[in-house]
């Protein structure tokens, strides 16, 4: 499991609050929106740029490219490494079953998306994209929500032009990207909140760990497949 600092513990608290709101019959958009913004800031900061022992996406991509002659081989290695991290995180945060769920669920949500964010950003970097470019960073976040990306872009007033990596050519204003990023955070938290029981349906200690690991691996692989499509080799 990843180690969290003070700011990350604050983000976990925000995530927990947002999940509680999302589980209610009438979710508070303000709570979810504010918490979503802070969680997205953590994803961009730690997930892409790295923090402490959690290496940056650029370093992960560089290491993979040094070990493989082709970018596709590097991408396969990046996905394999992060799949193992997701499995480990899902097991540890789920093995306590329903007894530890109030604490483990927020931690698992943040941890999973940190791993997923870095994986997608590393894939983009390995395929030649500038992950310091604001549009590409937003494209990385949008990859996390899969098929909902076009809907979020539409609501933010952005016309989708094929793959998410094409956002780099649009030179979108900063305020627009902030709206997009906030929308991604809102969607991630609200989806996680609605899926609590399905995500931790097996509340038996230890056994729940294997279920949690399997679910996280499945979800991460879906995101990886989406990232392969959205970030083809840059020309």
How far apart, in whole angstroms, are the C-alpha atoms of residue 118 and residue 187? 19
pLDDT tens-digit series, residues 170-226 = 888 888 888 889 888 888 877 765 444 444 444 444 444 445 566 778 889 999 999
Mark out the alpha helices in 95-206 (DSSP H runs): 101-126, 134-143, 149-155, 174-194, 196-199
Residues in the chain: 235
pLDDT tens-digit series, residues 129-158 = 999 999 999 999 999 998 888 888 888 888
Q: Which residues contact 147 (CB under 8 A, 6 or more apart)?
A: none
pLDDT tens-digit series, residues 95-132 = 444 434 334 445 567 788 889 999 999 999 999 999 99
Give 230's pLDDT tier (boundaries 50, 70, 90): very high
Q: What is the pTM of this model?
A: 0.77
pLDDT tens-digit series, residues 61-84 = 999 999 998 999 999 999 999 998
């Amino acid at each position: 499991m990843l180690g969290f600092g003070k700011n990350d513990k604050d983000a976990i608290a925000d995530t927990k609050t947002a999940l509680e709101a999302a589980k209610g019959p009438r979710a508070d958009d303000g709570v979810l929106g504010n918490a979503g913004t802070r969680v997205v800031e953590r994803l961009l900061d730690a997930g892409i740029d790295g923090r402490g022992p959690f290496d940056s996406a650029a370093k992960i991509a560089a290491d993979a490219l040094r070990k493989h002659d082709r970018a596709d081989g590097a991408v396969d290695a990046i996905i394999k490494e992060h799949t193992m991290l997701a499995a480990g995180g899902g097991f540890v945060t789920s093995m306590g079953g329903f007894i530890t769920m109030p604490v483990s669920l927020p931690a698992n949500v943040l941890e999973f998306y940190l791993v997923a964010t870095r994986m997608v950003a590393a894939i983009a970097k390995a395929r030649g994209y500038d992950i310091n470019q604001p549009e590409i960073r937003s494209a990385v976040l949008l990859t996390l929500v899969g098929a909902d990306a076009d809907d979020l872009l539409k609501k933010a007033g952005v016309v989708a032009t094929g793959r998410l990596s094409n956002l780099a050519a649009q030179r979108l204003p900063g305020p627009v990207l902030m709206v997009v990023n906030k929308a991604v955070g809102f969607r991630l938290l609200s989806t996680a909140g609605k899926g609590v029981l399905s995500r931790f349906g097996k509340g038996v200690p230890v056994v729940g760990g294997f279920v949690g690991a399997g679910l996280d691996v499945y979800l991460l692989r879906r995101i990886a497949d989406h990232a392969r499509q959205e970030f083809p080799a840059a020309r």
